[in-house]
Structure 1
């Protein structure tokens, strides 16, 4: 590699890292426009270990609303490490280790729920920015009280029906053919 190619690779890796850090920071502080800005307009999402739903293709706006509804009632703290980034022209893939901590006052069990695992993330370059086009959330283990997430809350339940619908699962199957 030439020095120019090395510098471009370092810049791409730094930009991809920054996208993931914005993703996590936005989740923690509830900056939903910043969170939305980390995605392409339509994204593939595999959060099956967490939600039990198969991978979907969904608008980033709908996914952002889901994140806002499910996470706003709890305090959050995401830590990302072990960035392993592979760049190929205008596409990239990263494995990013994460610890996701959640807290909510509760008299129905532990007040914490923690996840320890990683994200598998596919990025595409859009102009000068790297955006998340596909993301898989996976974990090795969890601890605490997952019941602090109230899936029966009406606005969240309505949003989940929109986000995890059959049409979005079918769209993901078709979109995966290009990945």
Structure 2
């Protein structure tokens, strides 16, 4: 495996958490392909989704990352132990994640924390490596899940 590819992919994975926590929506958008496959079924149930990156980050769409994250006071996604495998112009990256979500609310703890993994599928484009799919695995959850639901309603 090319070390430059490994470094570039690890940087994309790191920037994912960094941009999400800082609400850098343009920076986050730049990490993805135009169409993104997301699988949060381990957390929410349901079915994996596929949507345009603009839809994923829309301000007016129920369930979009941006709408939910903008409703929170703060988040911190600690993404570590990135393992990268490449195969030509495609790659996978797996990483551990602890995501802390904060919103003061009248219904319990202001914190909801999720520990688990992210599995990324990436593709090499003319602009470098981009994420085309993300899947979250859950190892543990602690705190008040209402934090996320209330955040989505608050940003509406």
Q: Output the TM-score relative to the length of structure 2.
A: 0.89
Does residue 23 (structure 1) correspond to residue 23 (structure 2)? The answer is no
Q: Is the 8 A contact 2:101 2:148 kept in 1?
A: no
SS for the counterpart of 1:82 is strand
Q: Which deviates the most, 143-152 or 11-20?
A: 143-152
Q: Which runs of 5+ in 2 are unaligned?
A: 59-63
Shift in Å, 1:73: 1.5
4+ runs deviating over 4 angstroms: none
2:45 maps to 1:52: yes
Greater radius of gyration (CA) = 1
Aligned residues: 149
* Residue of structure 1 in register with 2:133 after alignment: 134
Per-residue CA distance 1:82-129 (angstroms, 9 max, x = gap): 111001110000111111011111221111000100111100001241
3-state SS of 2:57 partner: helix
Aligned to 1:177: none
Select which of 19, 28, 40 maps to 1:35.
28
Compute the RMSD of aligned alpha carbons.
Answer: 1.7
For residues 60-79 of structure 1, the aligned pairs below 5 Å read 60-65=53-58, 66-74=64-72, 75-79=74-78
1:13 pairs with 6, 23, 37, which one? 6
CA-CA distance at 1:153 after TM superposition = 2.5
TM-score by length of 1: 0.78
Contiguous gaps of at least 5 residues in structure 1:
1-5, 157-179
